[in-house]
Structure 1
Amino acid sequence: MASAERSDDRRRLRWQDSLWGIGVIALVVGVGVRLVVNGASAWPSAVVGAAPIAVGLVWWVRRRRVRDAEAVGTEPDDVPGMDRQILEGGPVPRDPERRRAMAAFVDSRQERLRRNRWWAFPMLFLIFFGTSALWFVSGSVGAGSLMLGLAIVFMSWLTWYNLRFDRRLSQMRSRLQD
């Protein structure tokens, strides 16, 4: 039963959850940003510059998945499925082993989310609003206004997403205890 449920989760994984998908997305975004900044004629240097960043991002995601899997006693390939199951409010696993792993995963995610909240939000606030203030001080009202608008939108979205994810984790935790 557990292996059938686990293979169903793996089949439902989206392409952007695979390490190849993450690497391709990072490479395309990195090349796109560099082409916008440096011009379309700089595409070879854009590819060469974005490739190490994409490889580093894939390495970091893989390392995080392995650590998360070791912490809850599951396979690294199961981590994206469990994340998606939490975010989408999917069904609670029926297998006791998978249920225990999901409960440990939820506790780990919620603890990390709450532990890092106290420093991450003030740091991002300082970065975004401080950059806006620096643009205003330097006399560039247009750039300062644009950065201020982006700061407000991004910080509002980040706060909403953080609270939503915390609520989803709490909901999954209560469903696992039932």
Structure 2
Amino acid sequence: MSQDNSGWRRWLGKWWVLSLFYFVVYGGFQLLRPGRTWADAAIGAAIYAAWMTGWQVRRRRRDSRAVGAKADELPQLERRMRRGEVPEDPAERQAMRKLAQRRLAKLQGGAKWALPLLGFLWLAVSVISLAVGQFGSGLAFLGAGVVLAGLIVWGRRRNIERLTRAERRLSAADGDRSRTA
């Protein structure tokens, strides 16, 4: 597989960079909460970073086995797929197409109950907050829930369209190249 080792992009796929990112972001948000100390934020951020990095590495290993590529090559394949590139190498093209098909299957199948459940829980917390007289936090929580649900739906649709386009481009490239060979 071809490698793009230019600049900061080569570091994005490293597990320790992911871990550091999760640690800094989660720790920063924890420090914004009133009453949090540096030690509390650091311990919570370390646990969150370890969990999220483990989940990401596990996902990457499963994807790499399923598509027939090395785990270190997946971030590069994903970036190239996002940019709309079609590799010349048939093995790389096949791995990219399998990755697009795998991600599409996960987005289109799976937990169709998750978003309605999240919406119900968000609404329930908002209603309880309003019922006990905390109108500001209840309305803020409700508004944040509507925005979050909108972002989830928008992101899911965007990813499905992007992956469908990539899969079509890769399949068309295989069809064109097989006719000329």
| Normalised TM-score (structure 1) | 0.86
1:59 alignment partner AA? G
Structure showing the higher helix proportion among its residues: 1
2:168 to 165, 168, 174: 174
Distance in 2 (alpha carbons) for counterparts of 1:128 and 1:86: 34
1:145 to 113, 126, 139: 139
- Deviation at 1:117? 4.9
| Normalised TM-score (structure 2) | 0.85
1:34 to 18, 30, 36: 30
Residues 1:132 and 2:130 aligned together = no
- Deviation at 1:14? 5.2
- 8 Å contact kept, 2:81–2:96: no
Distance in 1 (alpha carbons) for counterparts of 2:110 and 2:135: 33
Structure 2, unmatched stretches of 5+, are 173-181
- 8 Å contact kept, 2:126–2:142: yes
Distance in 1 (alpha carbons) for counterparts of 2:77 and 2:144: 32
Residues 1:104 and 2:98 aligned together = yes
Determine the structure 1 residue equivalent to 2:67: 72
**Secondary structure, aligned partner of 2:109:** helix
> Which sits farther off after the overlay, 69-78 or 30-39?
30-39
RMSD of Structure 2 on Structure 1 (CA): 1.9
1:24 to 20, 25, 30: 20
Structure 1, unmatched stretches of 5+, are none
Aligned pairs for 1:37-52 within 5 A:
37-39=33-35, 42-52=37-47
Change (3 A) 1:137 1:19: same
Distance in 2 (alpha carbons) for counterparts of 1:81 and 1:123: 34
Change (3 A) 1:126 1:17: farther
What percentage of residue pairs aligned between the two structures are identical? 32
Q: How many residues align?
A: 171
Change (3 A) 1:101 1:90: same
Change (3 A) 1:128 1:54: same
Deviations 1:111-160 (A, max 9, x none): 01111351222122123222222211222111111011111111111111
